[in-house]
Structure 1
Amino acid sequence: MNNTVKTAITAAVATVMTLGAVAGCGASGTAAKSDQGKVYFLNSKPEVSDSWKKIADEYTKQTGVQVTVETAASGTYQQSLKSEFAKSEPPTLFQLSGPVDMETWKDYTADLTDTAIYKQMKDQTLALKSAETGKPVGVPFVIESYGLIYNKDILDKYTKTSGAAVKSVKDINSFDKLKAVADGMQKHKDELGIKGAFTSAGFDSSSIWRYDTHLANMALDREFKDDGITQEPASIKGTYLPQFKNIFDLYLTDSTTPRTQLSSKTNDDANSEFALGDAAFYQNGTWAWTDLQNAGMDADKVGMIPIYMGLPNEHEQGLATGSAQYWCLNKKADAKNIKATEKFLDWMITSEQGKNAIAKDMGFTTPFKTFNKVKTDNPLVAAMQKDSDSKHERVGWSFTVAPSERWKDDLGSAMLEYAQGTAGWDGVQKAFVDNWAKEYQANKH
């Protein structure tokens, strides 16, 4: 099957909001009305699980309809989905990350043509369409960007040190500039009061996706653009693996943490290091603001710039913007429960409480017309919108057509071995290039 790579997300980025995840269940307040059906959402975004639980409880309180929200542990969503689908009361609402997931779960995805979430999309071309019927089966509920989140105070302090490579963040527009700044910060870390320029590159399951997926995508997307690739390819060349190595090496050398300790470092560790002012740069995305805010950071203290790795003309490059979060309805669920889920999603994107939960509590940007006047307090979303309004060429989310989860897992393992010094970079190259073709053949033919 050929899967379209979705890289142009201009229209959707113009609003403000998006959705997230949840743990627990919302059945408090008014007794649930079983005759109206019930909702079961299996969520994949732990960082907003509390927000989902809160709004699920509120919906149940208002309508009497039971809304259960369970959140899969980081890195385990596919396994959790398989397990939950096998139960007598499976999820009525679930998430897919893109075309490859759609093919895997095509027997469960319902036609969304007549749903409010599809009708309210500003750009319906962004929906996942069934390869067999052409009908929409997945609606992106969040448009997100990732890059290098930076601490404005630390960067400002650095610009005043002797021999500073830049005068302001605007001067950082290439890998050479980024490396000069990071090396300078590492050299003056005691003076700056930091432990390293970059937060720890953790390789436990809560953090590894930042590298084997998001960082790898920077090289992957540029190769796709160069070669005019618009569908999932059977093989890749690894054209920009040297540049991929550039940025990864910088993360390792100018870090808060020795490379030998990275295997057990978590995303919470990186979040804490950044929030406490131990590091100036933190590779993550717009979704990270909830955790940073909860850790005590002020909105006016953070910004976000593109990830530079030495690619051609990268001074014209913007943030990596796209969606890997699609709402899907389980067509195998009880019809009454499917209808209840449709009504819940309608309420989420049209009611003031639902919209505020998504835009303000979760801090996301969505592609729905109903959010045109909704504003967010998320400073990283503000950075995304500023980037969207610029002439920068945004990096697409080409990782959504990776041939399998195993491709990412094997790449992550090879990167960790390289980081720890137990294997060379050739292992990363093999995992990146050779394993792509191997996994494509294993999963497509």
Structure 2
Amino acid sequence: MPIAVEGYGLIYNKKIFEAAGIDASTLTSYDAMDKAFADLQSQIDAGTLADQFPVLEAVEEYAAKESWIVGLHTNNVALSQEFGSAAKAFESQTVNYTYGAALKDLIDLETRYTSSRDDLSLLNSVDYATQVGGGLAIERVAVIQQGNWISPEISNVSEDLLQDLGILPIPLKGVVEDSIAVGVSNYWCVNSKSSEAEKTAAKAFLNWLYQSDEGKNIVINELSLIPAFDNYDGIEISDPLSAEVMRYMNAGKTIPWVFSGQPSGWDSNVAANVQAYLAGSMTWEQVIAQNKSDWEAMRQQ
């Protein structure tokens, strides 16, 4: 049974964008985002937002140190369009990187407006905690690539700030630009080796949790989950970021998660290659070639 639906894109601080005079609702394409981010960075550099946001230093932060952010989530934006599903990715002995050039554009967009833009190798030491707790949560940056799962960490810092966050699309230039990536990350499982009584009780509990009125309230308001069921009509999602994910889902503006079909451990290789690109020790063409070679070799294992 799916635990919940999750989605990721470019999470942004609405108040910072409003203060900069940027209408986030118009940022539905790569070029629009690139132009807006450049405008915002110029205002930050000029100090025009310093009174309202005294620690704001850059538009974005990109946690290149985290293989799951680079090798799973960012990489997935391109692979989702090549494979279409995790099953097809799992069945494939090769990866073509049909949209490799657009993936480079996305990574460049997510790194060119960071405080490390003059030395991108510095991003290779930026981890999740620096990006979220030490970045977006304290308003040091205005945008990060993350998903609705960061809500608890943000609310621990500032519940007010959580209410001011929204999600921009994660654009694959010229391919799909006005969507976020949505999927199921984890599932509840019943141990087949348990006794019949235990299995029956486990199933009864899960059915109660997700299908009773009391359970639905817990799922939505206490666990802050997006249920993977279609019978939650009339129930309003309280978590702002989860509500944003639902907005994209209802509009049909989503791309799938296909990374569970990748060779096991391949994301670490991808991340290492992208880190080398950011450090200037690999060209993008070399990154793509090595990613392809690693996929094929790991499929043979």
TM-score range, shorter chain: 0.7 to 0.9
The answer for the alignment partner of 2:289 in structure 1 is: 430
Match 1:356 to one of 197, 208, 217: 217
1:378 corresponds to 2:239: yes
What is the match of residue 398 of structure 1?
Answer: 258
Match for 2:75: what amino acid? Answer: A
Give the CA RMSD over aligned residues: 2.5
- Mark the CA change 1:151 to 1:235 in structure 2 (over 3 Å): closer, same or farther: same
Aligned partner of residue 197 in structure 1, secondary structure: strand
Query: 1:215 maps to what in 2?
Result: 74
Letter matched to residue 207 of structure 2:
D
1:235 alignment partner, SS class: coil
Instruction: Name the SS of the counterpart of 1:192 in structure 2.
Output: coil
Equivalent AA in structure 1 for residue 146 of structure 2: N
Structure holding more helix per residue: 2
Report the AA paired with residue 2 of structure 2.
P
Q: Could you tell me which amino acid in structure 2 is paired with residue 221 of structure 1?
A: S
Per the alignment, residue 254 of structure 1 pairs with: 113
Is the counterpart of residue 192 in structure 1 residue 49 in structure 2? yes
Alignment partner of 2:20: what SS? helix
Is the contact made by 2:10 and 2:168 (CA closer than 8 Å) also made in structure 1?
yes
| Distance in 1, Cα, partners of 2:163 & 2:185 | 28
Structure 1 residue 169 corresponds to structure 2 residue 24: yes
The residue number in structure 2 matching 1:152 is: 14
User: What is the aligned partner in structure 2 of residue 28 from structure 1?
Assistant: none
Matched, 1:309 2:172: yes
Cα displacement string for residues 34-78 of structure 1 (whole angstroms, at most 9, x for unaligned residues) = xxxxxxxxxxxxxxxxxxxxxxxxxxxxxxxxxxxxxxxxxxxxx
Amino acid in structure 2 at the alignment position of 1:239? T
Q: CA offset at residue 304 of structure 1?
A: 0.7
Measure how far apart 1:290 and its partner are: 1.8
What residue number does 1:280 align with? 142
- 5+ long unaligned stretches in structure 1: 1-138, 160-166
Could you tell me whether the CA contact under 8 Å between 1:143 and 1:321 is conserved in 2? yes
What SS class does the counterpart of residue 263 from structure 2 fall into? coil
Give runs of aligned pairs for residues 337-356 of structure 1, distance below 5 A: 337-350=198-211, 354-356=215-217
TM-score (norm 2): 0.85
CA distance in 1, matches of 2:238, 2:290: 40
Among 167, 178, 181, the residue aligned to 2:33: 178
- Whether contact under 8 Å (1:324, 1:400) holds in the other structure is no
> How many Å apart are 1:267 and its aligned residue?
1.2
Deviation of 1:263 (Å): 3.4
Whichever of the two has the greater Rg, that structure is: 1
Distance 1:287 1:311 in 2: 28
Secondary structure, counterpart of 2:217 in structure 1:
helix
Once the 2 structures are TM-superposed, how far is the Cα of residue 220 of structure 1 from its aligned partner? 0.5
1:222 Cα deviation (Å)? 1.4
Given that 2:209 and 2:216 are in contact with CA atoms closer than 8 Å, whether structure 1 keeps it comes out as: yes
Deviation at 1:301, TM superposition (A): 1.0
CA drift of 1:337 comes to: 4.3
- The letter of the residue matching 2:74 is L
Counterpart residue type for residue 303 of structure 1: G
Q: Deviations over 1:91-144 (max 9, x none)?
A: xxxxxxxxxxxxxxxxxxxxxxxxxxxxxxxxxxxxxxxxxxxxxxxx222112
The answer (yes or no) to whether the contact 1:146–1:319 under 8 Å persists in 2 is yes
Instruction: Number of aligned residue pairs: give it.
Output: 288
1:329 to 174, 183, 190: 190
What amino acid sits opposite 1:175 in the alignment?
Y
Structure 2 spans left out of the alignment, 5+ residues? 51-55
CA contact (8 A) 1:150 1:280 kept: yes
Q: Which amino acid aligns with 2:209?
A: M
Aligned amino acid, residue 102 of structure 2? Q
CA offsets, 1:221-267, max 9 Å, x none? 11225xxx586322121111111111212222211345333333221
Tell me the secondary structure at the aligned position of residue 146 of structure 2. Answer: strand
Identity %: 24
Q: Is the 8 A contact 1:148 1:282 kept in 2?
A: yes
Aligned pair in 2 of structure 1 residues 366, 417: CA closer, same or farther (>3 Å)?
A: same
